Amino acid sequence: MHLQYKDFEKIINIGIRLSTEKDRNRLLMAILKNGMEITNCDASTLYLYEDGKLVFKFMKTLSKGINRGMDKPIDDLPPVPMKEENVCSYAAIHREVVNISDVYASSRFDFSGPRQYDSLTGYRTQSQLVVPLVNNENELIGVLQLINAMDEAQNVIAFDKQYELIIRSLGAMAAIELTNLSYVEALKTQLYSFVEALTTALEERTPYNAQHTRNVERYASMLADHINDLHAKGKCEEFFESGRKEQLMLAALIHDIGKMVIPLNIMNKATRLDKEISRVDDRFTLLHALYEVDMLRGRITQEEYEQTSVQLREDLAFIHEIDTMDYVNDEAYEHIQQLAKKQHVSEDGTTLPYLTEREVSCLSIRSGTLTMEERKEMENHVVMTSKILDKVEFFKGFSMVPKWVGAHHEYLDGSGYPNQLQGDELDFETRLLTVVDIYDALAATDRPYKKPIPREKAIEILRSMAEKNKVDLRLVEWLNEALIKNEGN
């Protein structure tokens, strides 16, 4: 028997397929199926070398309709110990191809296992070609056991010796690809461990923000899965294959890492004045005392003192109310400006303002808790995130992470930050991260500076932003559908 041109073409094509396969299980199955196809055999078993033993990974017998290992692990068969009397172990130990024409006529190895299997199933194991899977560093990956080669009339024959080199070459190619996949997985593990370390550091600084990171990851995953469901139904062109989704998840986990450098008094500012309200309380206590001294020294009357005391209590109560108010309207804003002008003047001309310039600035914030200066410093976290990620060498599968993360506060109309990107300058993944980031900011239950709002209200706010060309309306609607679908889960 001699190999034809079509056989070489088939072998080359198999090598190409093996080199492009990125899924470990499919690659392993390809080794088994292609080995059977090349040798035209009826059955095969693929073992992986784990913890010093050969573990059953896949089993396939065409004549019996057996195909095990792809759907669930083969856990009812014990691992094969590395003992030389076992043909598979021998091939593994010595990195040697073993070709047996008839196991029943061979005394070289202990074939009691195949004989017992045959007696239970009615199968007849005859010829075997056992090939070690060894990578270019001579590391053992596993063993491929091919069983019962067939001629054109479907009679069992011995494996032709020319297949020994071919299957060994196939095994070597596959072993190298498996090793490469292992290296990629190791790189991924290292990258994720780096992200986890940074997230842990951020969590230690401010626990609520770590929860935000997990929420953004969860919403992004939920939305990506929903988009895939829509794609399967022909309702969406976008699709997140495993590599694309992995990259999105990493971006979600690391999107706020720049907040590590934001001062905590800004990060955790719960109200407009936050801890500074205690200084206002102390000052108003002092003002009461100063006006009482004025009364005792005859600078003001008893009646004026009592009126002033009442007014001080009312002013302080108003300040506390404004400090925690969701929105400062025009009337309240004007009241603050009037308070800003009030001061106590002592006999020697020393003045004590009711409010400092900073306190007036904080209380005058229309919405939220941050002043313009504090907001600019908070927004700087995106720039810091990009600076941090610029120091990280992202390999090919995750090369887009810095770009997506650095733009997740940009808006479609160019009004976002830090670079005022717009429209087509924003990738689909960036738009997705923007939507889920805003949603969690609205719906989060653990923010110290705001009350959570229900899903319906948060989605309405996002729809309003979409109408103003801030965010992608498709993603808003898809997120809403995904949230409804996952409610209670």
Closest alpha carbon to 433 in 309, 251, 289:
251
Residue 69: left (phi > 0), alpha (psi -120 to 50), or beta?
left
Q: Which 8-state DSSP code applies to residue 282?
A: H
Asked if residue 147 lies in contact with residue 41, where contact means CB atoms within 8 angstroms, the answer is yes
Give the count of beta carbons closer than 10 Å to the beta carbon of residue 226.
Answer: 21
User: May I ask the CATH class of domain 206-266+373-486?
Assistant: mainly alpha
Closest alpha carbon to 220 in 431, 433, 475, 407:
433
- Whether 206-266+373-486 and 5-182 are alike in CATH topology: the answer is no
Question: In this predicted structure, what is the pLDDT of residue 265?
Answer: 85
Identity of the residue numbered 215: N
Give the separation between CA 218 and CA 350, rounded to whole angstroms: 58
Question: In this predicted structure, what is the pLDDT of residue 12?
Answer: 64
Give the separation between CA 157 and CA 128, rounded to whole angstroms: 10
Asked if residue 227 lies in contact with residue 356, where contact means CB atoms within 8 angstroms, the answer is no
In Å, what is the CA distance from 480 to each residue of 7, 241, 458, 460, 475? 54, 22, 10, 10, 8
Asked if residue 399 lies in contact with residue 392, where contact means CB atoms within 8 angstroms, the answer is no
Mean pLDDT, the chain cut into blocks of 10 residues (489 residues total): 57 62 71 85 92 92 90 87 94 94 91 85 92 84 92 92 81 73 74 78 68 90 97 95 92 88 84 94 96 94 96 97 92 96 94 96 92 88 87 82 94 94 95 96 72 89 96 97 82
Q: Residue 316 CA to chain centroid, in angstroms? A: 47
Predicted TM-score (pTM) above 0.85: no
Asked if residue 472 lies in contact with residue 435, where contact means CB atoms within 8 angstroms, the answer is yes
Q: Which 8-state DSSP code applies to residue 413?
A: T
Asked if residue 80 lies in contact with residue 89, where contact means CB atoms within 8 angstroms, the answer is yes
CA gyration radius for the chain?
36
Long-range contacts for 212-217 (Cβ within 8 Å, ≥24 apart)? 212/256, 212/440, 212/441, 212/444, 213/252, 213/253, 213/255, 213/256, 215/440, 215/444, 216/252, 216/255, 216/256, 216/433, 216/436, 216/437, 216/440, 217/249, 217/252, 217/253
Give the separation between CA 147 and CA 129, rounded to whole angstroms: 7
Burial of residue 234, with CB atoms counted within 10 A of its CB: 0-12 exposed, 13-18 middle, 19 or more buried: exposed
Give the separation between CA 320 and CA 224, rounded to whole angstroms: 44
Write down the H helix ranges in 154-241: 162-205, 207-232
Give the separation between CA 342 and CA 357, rounded to whole angstroms: 12
The residue extents of the domains of the chain are 5-182, 206-266+373-486, 274-368
**Residue labelled with tokens 């070709």:** 99
Identity of the residue numbered 13: N
In CATH, the number for domain 5-182 is: 3.30.450.40
Identity of the residue numbered 457: K
Question: In this predicted structure, what is the pLDDT of residue 432?
Answer: 98
Question: In this predicted structure, what is the pLDDT of residue 388?
Answer: 85
Give the separation between CA 60 and CA 80, rounded to whole angstroms: 18
Question: In this predicted structure, what is the pLDDT of residue 26?
Answer: 76
